[in-house]
Structure 1
Amino acid sequence: MTAAPKPAAPAVLTVSQLTAQVRGTIEAKFLSVWVAGEVSNFTRASSGHWYFTLKDATAQIKTVAFRGINLRLRFDPRDGMEVIARGRLTVYDPRGEYQFIVEELQPKGVGAAELALRQLKEKLLAKGYFDPKRKRPLPRPPRRVALVASATGAAVRDMIEVFAQRWPFTELVVRPARVQGEGAAQDISLAVRQLNWLHRNNKLAFDAIVLGRGGGSAEDLWAFNEELVADAIYNSQVPVVSAVGHEIDVTVADLVADHRAETPTAAVVALTPDRRELVAALGALRGRMAEAAERRLKSARQRLDQFATRPAFRRPLQRVHDLEQRLDDTAARLARAARVRLSQATQKLAEVSARLETLSPLQVLARGYSLTHTTDGRLVRDPRGLRPGDLLVTRVTAGVIRSLVTEARSTEDDPPPQGAG
C-alpha cells in the first residue's frame, strides 16, 4: 500500500501582506463612490489636511480630505453638517483601518457657494466688519475720486458721464480691474490697497474710492463676496463706495463699504450735488435775498420818515438848549447848597472849639496851677522819682521856670499829725 500524500502547508501571510491585499481589493472595488453622511470629530491639521468622520444612524467611516482638495472648496465643514462626498476607499496600513479619501465635497441641501457666503458673513460680522459705527460719511462734493472698474465695461463710462453732468469739478482717477472671473477678487483687492498706498504716502490724495460694475448673475458678482476684498475695504483709509449693479443681491463688499449704492450711477449721485440743481437753488436764493433786501430798505425808509417828523429833527438845537438851561439851574442850586453847608460847618466848628477851650490845660494854668516835667519831657507826678540835682521845667500861665532839685520828699514820708492814734 502506498502512503497518502501529505497535505500542502497553508500559506502564511504577514500582516503587511494581508493589509496590502485587502487594500488592493477595496481600492479596485470602490474606486469612485458617493457617500452621504454627517461630519463628526472634524480636525484641521497644520499641513492643511482635514480629518473627520462621516456617520449616519448606525455606522461611521474615517475620512480624509487632503490640502489640494480643500483649497478648492468654498465652504468649511463643521461638526454636525450634512454633506455629500465623492471619493475612493483605501486602507491605512499603519492602523489597518479602511478610510474614505475625499475628492469632491459639497453641503447637503444647500449649494456650496451659498454656504460659503453664509459662513463668510458670520465670520466678518463677528469681527466687526459690518458695524455701522465704523462707517465714515462721504465727502460732498469730493475733489478727487478713484474709480475701480473694468476698463471696457459700461459702468466706468456711465460714472464718468454722470460726474461730468452733475459735478465736472471732481478729478477722476480710473484704476482698471477685473470685476468677474478668475483672479478678479485679487485684482480688486490689489487696486484698493494700491490707491490707499498713494493716499497714505501723499502721492495722490483721494476723497473716495468707488468699486463699480454693472449687473450680473450671482456667479458674476462673486468676486465682491471674497474675504480678501472685504479685508481691503475694511482696512482702507479712504471711504469706499460699493456700486455693484444688482439691487436684489447684497454682496459682502456692500456690507463692509462705507456706503452702498445700487448702481454705479447711484454712487455718483451719492457723492456729488447736481450742478444744475445747485445753480437753480442759487438763483432762487438770490431772488429771496433781493426780496429781503427790498423789505429791509422799505422798512428803513419808513422809520426814517418817522424820525424826520420828530421835534429833535425839526429843531435839533432845542434839546441842547434845554439841557444847558437845566445845567445852569443845577449849578446855581449846588452853589447855594454849598454856601449853606459851609456856614453850618463853620458854626459847628466854633462850638466845638469853645468846648475844647474849656478843657484845655492852659485854662487850668490860668487859674494858678502849674505843670512840672523833667528835661526829657516826663511829667512829674511823684517826687520819689527825682534826685537832688535834677533839672526841672515848670510851666505856668505866664511862662516857664527852670529849677534845680535840692530835696524830693513824698507826702507819705511826713510825720503823722499830732493826736493821731
Structure 2
Amino acid sequence: MSDLFEDTPAPSNSPEFTVSELSGAVKKVIEGEFGLVRVRGEVGRVSRPASGHLYFALKDDRASLDAVSWKGQVAKMQVRPEEGMEVIATGRMTTFPGQSKYQLIVDDVAPAGAGALMAMVEKRKAALGAEGLFDPARKKPIPYLPQVIGVVTSPSGAVIRDILHRLRDRFPRHVLIWPVAVQGQNCAAEVSAAIKGFNALQPGGAIPRPDLIIVARGGGSLEDLWGFNEEIVVRAAASSQIPLISAVGHETDTTLIDYAADLRAPTPTAAAELAVPVRLDLLATLADLAARQSRGAAQTLQRRDQRLRDLARALPRLESLLATPRQRLDTAGQRLGGALGMAAAKKRGAYATVASRLRPEALLTLVARRREALAAADLRLSDRTLRVAERKHANFDKWASRLPAALTRLIADASRNTADGRTKLAALDARLQAAPTHRLRSLAQRLEALDRTRTTLGYTETLQRGYAVVRGDGDVVTSKAAAEKAQTLEIEFADGRLTLGARPAKKPKPTGPTQGSLF
C-alpha cells in the first residue's frame, strides 16, 4: 500500500507570516536599531517632483542607499544636495513595504567639509560663467555721485550702521534700505527679490529709483554666506539695470555674486567709500581750482599790461607826429594873406566887367518882360483857382449831405459812452467808499493777530509756565556772578514780585599769610 500512495509531509513548528506582517516586523527592527543615524556619501540621482519632496541616493564605491526628504524638511535645509556633492545626511532609517526596500528619511544635509562646498561653488561658477554672466564687457560703470543709493542687507546688523556712518562722513546721500535675511534658507529668495524690486521702481515715482545698489553682509563661514552663491541671486545681480556693488563678507571672502556684480568691495564700509566721493576733498579741489583761476586771470592781466607798455614804447612821440602838419599849417598861414588879396582883386575885376554891361535900357526891357510873364501867370492862376474852387464846392456839397446822419450817430455814440462812463464812475465811487472800511478792518485784524503773538511770545506768558525774572539793582541778571554783585534782588513771579533786602558786601579774601600758616 505504501507504494500506491505518496507519503504525507510531517507537520512543522515554524510560524507562518503574511507578507504585510513580515514587512511590518522588518520595519520595526530597522527603525528600532537605527533610530537616528548620520551617513556620509556622495549624492546621486537627485529628483525634485512637483510635490516639493526631494528624492536622492547616497553612495560610495561599494553600495547605494536611497534617501528621501519631505517638503517641510527641504524648506529648512541651508544647503540642498546636488548630484556629485559629498555630504553628511542626518535622519532615521525606515522601510518602504510597497517596494520591499529600506531608505533614509533625511532631516538635514551638511557638506562633508569645505572642500565639497568649494567644489560645488566652482562647478556652479563654471556653468554660469559659460553663459557670459561674469563677462567684464557687460559690467556697468558706477555713477560718480549717485543721488539715491539702495542698500540690500539686514536692517538689524552692524553692516547698515557702518554704511550709513561712512556715507554721512564722506558725502550724505538719500539711502533706501530693503531689509532681507542675509543667511539661511530665505536669504537667496529675498536678496534676489530685493534687487528686482529696486529695478522695478519707476523714475519720478513716489519712491525714488536708486542710482546705485549695494548688496552687503558681514563676514562669516562659507555656510553662512551660501545664500549669495545661489543661482537666483547671481542671475538677479547680472540682470540688474542699476549698477550694483557687492560687499559680502570680509576681504578674503568671495561669493558668486562678486563675479556678477558691476563692482566688488572688500567690505561693506569699502562699498560706501566706493559709492560716493569725499565731499571735503571736492570742496578743496573746487577752492584750489578757483584760486588757480584767480591767479591765472591776474597773470593774464599782468602780461597784457606789460605787452601794452611795450607796444606804447614802440609808438612815435606826439611831437614828431605833429611836427610836419604844424609846418604845413605855418606855410599855409604865411601864404594866406597874399592869396586873399589876389582873390579880392580878381573878384573886383569880374564885378567891374559885369557892371560895365548894365545900362538903364536893358533893365527896363528886363522889367517889362518879367511883368508880361507875371500877368500871364496871374491869368493862369485865376483860371486854375476857379476850377479848384468849383471842385471843392462840389465835394463840400457831397459831404454836407452826409453830415446830419454822421452828427446823429456821433451824438448817439457820445450819449452811450457818457452813460457807460457814469456807470463805471458810480462803481468806482462805491469801491472808493468801501475801500477805507475794508482797509481798516484788515489792519484791525492784523493788529489783533500781532497783539496775540506779542502776548503769546511775551515774557509774562513764560512766567505762567513756572519761570521767574531776577533783577539786581533794577537790571535783569542772568548769571550767578551778577546776582552776587547786586545789593538788592527782586524776583518777579507770575502773581507778583518779591524784593529781597540789601545784603552786606562780601569781604575781600585776604591775600597775605594769615595766623597759623607756614610762612
TM range (shorter): 0.5 to 0.7
Matching residue's letter, 1:101: L
Once the two structures are superposed, the pairs formed by residues 294-333 of structure 1 within 5 Å of their partners are 294-310=298-314
- Secondary structure (helix, strand or coil) at the match of 2:144 reads coil
The alignment status of 1:290 with 2:294, answered yes or no, reads yes
Once the two structures are superposed, the pairs formed by residues 20-31 of structure 1 within 5 Å of their partners are 20=23, 23-24=26-27, 27=30, 31=34
- Secondary structure (helix, strand or coil) at the match of 2:155 reads coil
Any stretches of 5+ residues in structure 2 without a counterpart?
1-6, 323-519
Contact 2:46–2:82, Cα closer than 8 Å, also in 1: no
- Secondary structure (helix, strand or coil) at the match of 2:236 reads helix
Matching residue's letter, 2:83: R
Matching residue's letter, 2:275: L
Please name the residue that 1:78 is paired with: 83
- Secondary structure (helix, strand or coil) at the match of 2:201 reads helix
Instruction: Find the partner of 1:142 among 136, 146, 161.
Output: 146
Contact 1:85–1:102, Cα closer than 8 Å, also in 2: no
Contact 2:79–2:110, Cα closer than 8 Å, also in 1: no
Any stretches of 5+ residues in structure 1 without a counterpart?
318-421
User: 1:320-367 deviations in whole A, cap 9, x for unaligned?
Assistant: xxxxxxxxxxxxxxxxxxxxxxxxxxxxxxxxxxxxxxxxxxxxxxxx
Classify 1:194/1:38 alpha carbon distance in 2 versus 1 (closer, same or farther; 3 Å).
Answer: closer
TM-score for the superposition, normalised by structure 1 = 0.59
The alignment status of 1:191 with 2:194, answered yes or no, reads yes
Tell me the distance in 2 between the aligned counterparts of 1:151 and 1:55. Answer: 44
- Secondary structure (helix, strand or coil) at the match of 1:78 reads coil
Please name the residue that 1:414 is paired with: none
Please name the residue that 2:431 is paired with: none
Tell me the distance in 1 between the aligned counterparts of 2:267 and 2:96. Answer: 55
Instruction: Find the partner of 2:258 among 254, 258, 261.
Output: 254
Contact 2:199–2:240, Cα closer than 8 Å, also in 1: yes
- Secondary structure (helix, strand or coil) at the match of 1:295 reads helix
Contact 1:234–1:257, Cα closer than 8 Å, also in 2: yes
Between structures 1 and 2, the one with greater strand share: 1
Between structures 1 and 2, the one with greater helix share: 2
TM-score for the superposition, normalised by structure 2 = 0.49
Give how far 1:136 is off. Answer: 0.8
Tell me the distance in 2 between the aligned counterparts of 1:62 and 1:192. Answer: 40
Please name the residue that 1:275 is paired with: 279
Contact 1:26–1:89, Cα closer than 8 Å, also in 2: no
Matching residue's letter, 1:54: K
Contact 2:111–2:117, Cα closer than 8 Å, also in 1: no
Once the two structures are superposed, the pairs formed by residues 97-112 of structure 1 within 5 Å of their partners are 98-103=101-106, 105-110=109-114
Contact 1:199–1:206, Cα closer than 8 Å, also in 2: no
Please name the residue that 2:164 is paired with: 160
Tell me the distance in 1 between the aligned counterparts of 2:22 and 2:259. Answer: 54
Contact 2:187–2:227, Cα closer than 8 Å, also in 1: yes
Please name the residue that 2:338 is paired with: none
The alignment status of 1:179 with 2:204, answered yes or no, reads no
Tell me the distance in 2 between the aligned counterparts of 1:255 and 1:53. Answer: 32
Query: Which deviates more from structure 2 when the two are superposed, residues 258-267 or residues 25-34?
Result: 25-34
Give how far 1:138 is off. Answer: 0.8
Tell me the distance in 2 between the aligned counterparts of 1:19 and 1:60. Answer: 25
User: 1:395-417 deviations in whole A, cap 9, x for unaligned?
Assistant: xxxxxxxxxxxxxxxxxxxxxxx
% same residue? 32
Contact 1:74–1:112, Cα closer than 8 Å, also in 2: no
Please name the residue that 1:237 is paired with: 241
User: 1:121-168 deviations in whole A, cap 9, x for unaligned?
Assistant: 344333333222221111111122223333343333333333333223
Give how far 1:207 is off. Answer: 0.8
Tell me the distance in 1 between the aligned counterparts of 2:224 and 2:156. Answer: 16
Contact 1:106–1:112, Cα closer than 8 Å, also in 2: no
Matching residue's letter, 1:124: L
Classify 1:114/1:285 alpha carbon distance in 2 versus 1 (closer, same or farther; 3 Å).
Answer: same
Cα RMSD (Å) of the superposition?
4.0
Tell me the distance in 2 between the aligned counterparts of 1:167 and 1:51. Answer: 53
Instruction: Find the partner of 2:66 among 48, 63, 87.
Output: 63
Instruction: Find the partner of 2:134 among 110, 118, 130.
Output: 130
Contact 1:211–1:240, Cα closer than 8 Å, also in 2: yes
Tell me the distance in 1 between the aligned counterparts of 2:189 and 2:74. Answer: 19
Give how far 1:239 is off. Answer: 1.3
Classify 1:7/1:235 alpha carbon distance in 2 versus 1 (closer, same or farther; 3 Å).
Answer: same
Please name the residue that 1:410 is paired with: none
Classify 1:53/1:92 alpha carbon distance in 2 versus 1 (closer, same or farther; 3 Å).
Answer: farther
Classify 1:244/1:11 alpha carbon distance in 2 versus 1 (closer, same or farther; 3 Å).
Answer: closer
- Secondary structure (helix, strand or coil) at the match of 2:281 reads helix
Higher relative contact order (CA 8 A, sep 6+): 1
Please name the residue that 2:55 is paired with: 50
Please name the residue that 1:409 is paired with: none
Classify 1:220/1:227 alpha carbon distance in 2 versus 1 (closer, same or farther; 3 Å).
Answer: same
Please name the residue that 2:380 is paired with: none
Contact 2:30–2:94, Cα closer than 8 Å, also in 1: yes
Contact 1:64–1:99, Cα closer than 8 Å, also in 2: no
Give how far 1:28 is off. Answer: 5.1
Give how far 1:316 is off. Answer: 8.6
Tell me the distance in 2 between the aligned counterparts of 1:150 and 1:85. Answer: 30
Tell me the distance in 1 between the aligned counterparts of 2:235 and 2:315. Answer: 81
Give how far 1:247 is off. Answer: 1.5
